[in-house]
Amino acid sequence: METYNVPVRILCVDDERNVLRSLERVFLDDDYEVVTAASGEEGLQIMAESGDTFQVVVSDYRMPVMNGVEFLKQVYAQWPDTVRIVLSGYADAGAIVAAINEGHIYKFIPKPWNDEELRVTIQNCLERYFLLRSNRELLEELARSNQELEEKVRLRTEDLELRNKALEFSQTMLGSLPVGVLGIDENGLIAHCNTRAAHILKQLCDDFFGTDIHHFCDPRLKQLVEQVRSQGELSVTDTFGDRPWRVLGRTVTFAGSQAVVLAFLEV
């Protein structure tokens, strides 16, 4: 028999004391706690006081005041996970249909029952109970994980939006500076230039953005970059286009690589 990591409790409800004793004897060799009640009202009271601790409820169909279907219907409404079984000595098809539809019954067992078959049925009920509960817990865990992921994505999106706005502002501010700013990556490609630098370079070459400085039309640019790489910084005055410029250079680390930044200040 399969063992579970929580106590297994079975509630048996019947208005006949000898039937309840017979049910208790069926499970003497099983590691179950069998609780008995003499009526549906008593059964509901026991369950209410115990909380959600009964995995299976076995109830007689014909009982005074509250019959088995009415009792199990209330059990389903308050403890839907509990597996419900009806015992009946009456082979009434209508009663069986009512029990299944109204009480959401897992199984309808006729009296007298076969002890071994009843034990197997209870074992199947427990497997069903713990499987459904495990599935629900997994779904709840998945829902929590999805919620946490959605929150992380939301925060990440907000962070990216903020960074993009900051980058857009920086680029706008950089583009409006009265100083030419030029960025050359570690491979020698012109990776960035602001509006002022573009105006300066355009006077030298028609096509310059993304150009390898080794193929730039004016070799002085390559010399300036190599000088910055060798010395770490640069400050010279030279003429580019139609006017002299003071050129400041410095190496910067970006994304794990060494880039060169040149600034052109009008003299």
68-78 and 93-102 helices, crossing angle to 10°: 20
- CATH superfamily, domain at 8-138: Response regulator (3.40.50.2300)
pTM for this predicted structure: 0.56
Alpha-carbon distance of 174 to 142, in angstroms, equals 46
- Comma-separated ranges of CATH 3.30.450.20 domains in the chain: 177-266
State pLDDT tens for residues 246-266: 999 999 887 778 899 999 998
Residue count of the chain, please give it: 267
State pLDDT tens for residues 73-131: 999 999 999 999 998 877 665 666 666 776 688 888 888 899 999 999 999 999 999 99
The CATH architecture to which 177-266 belongs is 2-Layer Sandwich (3.30)
State pLDDT tens for residues 184-231: 888 888 888 888 888 888 877 777 767 788 877 788 888 989 999 999
- Comma-separated ranges of CATH 3.40.50.2300 domains in the chain: 8-138
Sign of CA dihedral 116, 122, 127, 128: positive
